Homo-oligomer: A and B are copies of this chain.
Amino acid sequence: MAFSVVGKGLPRIDGASKVRGGAVFGADVKLPGMLIGVFLPSPHAHARIRHIDTYRAEGLPGVKGVVTAQDAPSLRYCTPAYGPSLCDRTFMARSKVRYFGEPVAAVAAVDEETAREALSLIAVEYEEIPAAFTIPDALLPDAPLVHEELLSYQGVGREARGNIYLQRSAARGDVSRGFTESDFVFEHTFATPMVHQSYVEPHAMVAAVDDAGRATVWTTTQAPFNIRSDLATILQMPLSQIRVVPLEVGGGFGGKLFTTLEPICLLLARKARRPVRMVMSREEEFLIARPRAAVTARLKTGVKRDGTLVAREGEFYFDTGAYQGAPVSFGVRFGLGPYRIPNAKADAYGVYTNKVSAGYFRAPGAPQVTFASESQMDIIARELGIDPWEVRWKNAWEEGDESVTGERMGRIGLKKTLEEVRRRGMWRADREVGRGRGLACGQWYTGGGATSACVTIYEDGTVGLLTGAIDITGSRTGLVQILAEELGVAPERIVVPVPDTDTIPWTGETSGSRITYGGGAAVLQAARDVKGQILGLVAEKLEVSAEDLELGGGRVYVKGSREKSLSLGEVALAAQGTKVGALLGWGVVGRLSPAPVFATQVAEVQVDAETGQVEVLKLGGAQDVGFAVNPLSVAGQMEGGMAQGMGYGIMEAMIFFRGKVENPNFADGKVPTAADVPSMATAIVEEPSDGPLGVRGVGEMPIVPTAAAIANAIHDAAGVRIRELPVTPERVVAAVKEKRG
Contact flags A576-598 to B (C-beta < 8 A → 1, else 0) = 11111111101011110000000
Nearest to A233 among chain B residues (CB) is B460
**Residues of A544-590 whose CB lies within 8 A of B:** 573, 575-584, 586, 588-590
Known: A239-B462, A502-B499. A581 touches B589 (CB 8 A): yes
Q: How far is the CB of A228 from chain B (nearest CB, A)?
A: 8
Contact flags A148-165 to B (C-beta < 8 A → 1, else 0) = 000000000000000000
- Cβ A502 vs Cβ B497 within 8 A: yes
Q: CB-CB < 8 A to A212: which residues of B?
A: 16-17, 22
Q: Which of A30, A212, A507 is the most central at the interface, judged by chain B CB atoms within 10 Å of its CB?
A: A212
Q: How far is the CB of A532 from chain B (nearest CB, A)?
A: 13
Segment at the interface with B among A199-207, A449-457, A673-681: A449-457
Contact flags A62-104 to B (C-beta < 8 A → 1, else 0) = 0000000000000000001101000000000000000000000
Q: How far is the CB of A110 from chain B (nearest CB, A)?
A: 16
Q: CB-CB < 8 A to A460: which residues of B?
A: 232, 238-239
Q: Interface range on chain A: under 10, 10 to 19, 20 to 34, or 35 or more?
A: 35 or more
- Cβ B579 vs Cβ A495 within 8 A: no
Q: CB-CB < 8 A to A17: which residues of B?
A: 210-212
A494 within 8 A of B: yes
A-side interface mostly: loop
Q: How far is the CB of A579 from chain B (nearest CB, A)?
A: 4
- Cβ B22 vs Cβ A466 within 8 A: no
A669 within 8 A of B: no
Q: How far is the CB of A709 from chain B (nearest CB, A)?
A: 36
- The contact of A30 among B32, B576, B584, by CB within 8 Å, is B32
Q: How far is the CB of A711 from chain B (nearest CB, A)?
A: 38
- Cβ A581 vs Cβ B464 within 8 A: no
Known: A30-B32, A243-B497, A508-B576. A591 touches B581 (CB 8 A): yes
- Cβ A590 vs Cβ B575 within 8 A: yes
- Cβ B581 vs Cβ A451 within 8 A: yes
Known: A458-B240, A497-B503, A581-B450. A211 touches B590 (CB 8 A): no
Bound: A46/B456 CA distance, A: 43
A664 within 8 A of B: no
Q: CB-CB < 8 A to A21: which residues of B?
A: 211
A186 within 8 A of B: no
- The contact of A590 among B16, B83, B581, B589, by CB within 8 Å, is B581
Q: CB-CB < 8 A to A586: which residues of B?
A: 586
Q: How far is the CB of A567 from chain B (nearest CB, A)?
A: 13
- A-B pairs, 7 with minimum CB distance: A22-B211, A450-B581, A581-B590, A506-B582, A497-B502, A503-B503, A240-B462
Chosen A-B contacts, 7 in total, with CB atoms closer than 8 Å, are A17-B212, A22-B210, A22-B212, A239-B462, A581-B591, A584-B588, A586-B586
Which of A's residues lie within 8 Å of B, judged by CB?
Answer: 16-17, 20-23, 30, 32, 80-81, 83, 210-212, 214, 229, 232, 238-241, 243, 449-452, 456, 458-460, 462-464, 466, 493-495, 497, 499, 502-503, 505-508, 573, 575-584, 586, 588-591
Given contacts A17-B210, A450-B581, 17 further A-B pairs with CB under 8 A are: A16-B212, A17-B212, A22-B211, A81-B459, A214-B495, A238-B493, A239-B458, A456-B506, A466-B503, A497-B503, A502-B503, A503-B503, A505-B584, A578-B591, A580-B588, A581-B588, A581-B591
